[in-house]
Amino acid sequence: MLNVVIFGPPGSGKGTQSERIIENFGLTHISTGDILRKEICAGSDLGKLAKSLIDKGQLVPDETIIEILEKKLDTLNNTKGVIFDGFPRTVDQAAALKKMLNSRGQDVNIMLNLEVDREELIDRLLKRGQVSGRSDDNLETIEQRIKVYEKQTAPVIDFYKSEGIYHPIKGTGEIDAIFSRIAEAISALA
Ligand code: ADP
């Protein structure tokens, strides 16, 4: 099993690069943002809670997101591995993920941190907002999401540094060039 965490601030290209990783390495994609957006569309209680928080640029509570993950992992069979996109977003989520995988005889094999500076993030997300229709891609919410990232999510970097599986990736330039750097890091594991 190959378990990859794709990490980075909002707008760093996690979703875009996940698509290429899936195509090239045959992994299963788990995006907590996509799962929450589906719940919002379905109008479920979880969706209602998620919408109220996402629109403010805040995180969904750890217990809720960890429960979602646990259920999702139980539905997987016959997979080569998973790419975790948008999770973990807090140190508690990272510790919970380790526990969940360890209890299944697995672990995270590599954490890829897409590094992009703040100005470019805002620029990309504002552009995406013009086509995505995502209610959180507006300047006020984007700034809040980046703040939440810096305070609650960035500490996850140290967690994976201490696990010895941290890989920073330059997240700017051509999409293909970024993917080449990612592919090289993943291939080096085998
Ligand atoms: P982005 O990385 O562009 O911000 P995502 O689609 O990953 O977008 O997430 C959108 C929103 O969904 C987040 O701002 C947050 O409110 C919520 N969310 C997604 N994943 C998590 C998570 N692991 N923990 C808490 N909240 C989450």
pLDDT given at position 77 = 85
**Distance of CA 139 from the midpoint of ligand 1 (Å):** 16
Among the listed residues 113, 88, 102, 101, the one whose alpha carbon sits nearest the alpha carbon of residue 185: 113
Q: Give residue for tokens 């996690």.
A: 14
Per DSSP, the three-state class of 4 is: strand
pLDDT, residue 126, reads: 97
Per-residue model confidence (pLDDT) at position 78: 86
Domain extent, residue 52, equals: 2-187
What confidence score (pLDDT) does residue 29 get?
Answer: 97
Task: Indicate which CATH number applies to the domain containing 168.
Answer: 3.40.50.300
Q: Whose CA is nearest to atom 18 of ligand 1?
A: 33
- Spatial distance between the Cα atoms of 149 and 144, rounded to a whole number of angstroms: 9
Phi-psi region of 130 (alpha: psi -120 to 50; beta: other; left: phi over 0): alpha
Question: How remote is the C-alpha of 126 from its chain's centroid?
Answer: 19
Give pLDDT tens digits along the chain (190 positions). 999 999 999 999 999 999 999 999 999 999 999 999 999 999 999 999 999 999 999 999 999 999 999 999 999 988 999 999 999 999 999 999 999 999 999 999 999 999 999 999 999 999 999 999 999 999 999 999 999 999 999 999 999 999 999 999 999 999 999 999 999 999 999 6
- Tally the domains of the chain: 1
20 is catalytic: no
Taking the centre of ligand 1 as the mean of its atom positions, its distance from the CA of residue 126, in whole angstroms, is 17
Question: How far, in Å, CA of 82 to CA of 25, rounded?
Answer: 10
Q: Structure tokens of 160?
A: 């994976």
Please identify, by atom number, the ligand 1 atom nearest to the C-alpha of residue 137.
3
SS3 of 176, please?
A: helix
Pocket test for ligand 1, best of 5, 6, 14, 32 (most atoms within 8 A of CB): 32
Determine the atom of ligand 1 nearest the C-alpha atom of 88: 23
Nearest to 169 by CA among 155, 180, 181, 158: 181
What is the rounded distance in angstroms from the CA atom of residue 187 to the CA atom of residue 28? 17
Cα 63 from Cα 106, distance rounded (Å): 21
d(CA 137, ligand 1 centre) in Å: 12
CA distance 51 to 55: 6
- Asked whether the beta carbons of 163 and 102 are under 8 A apart, the reply is no
Confidence at residue 190, expressed as pLDDT on a 0 to 100 scale: 67
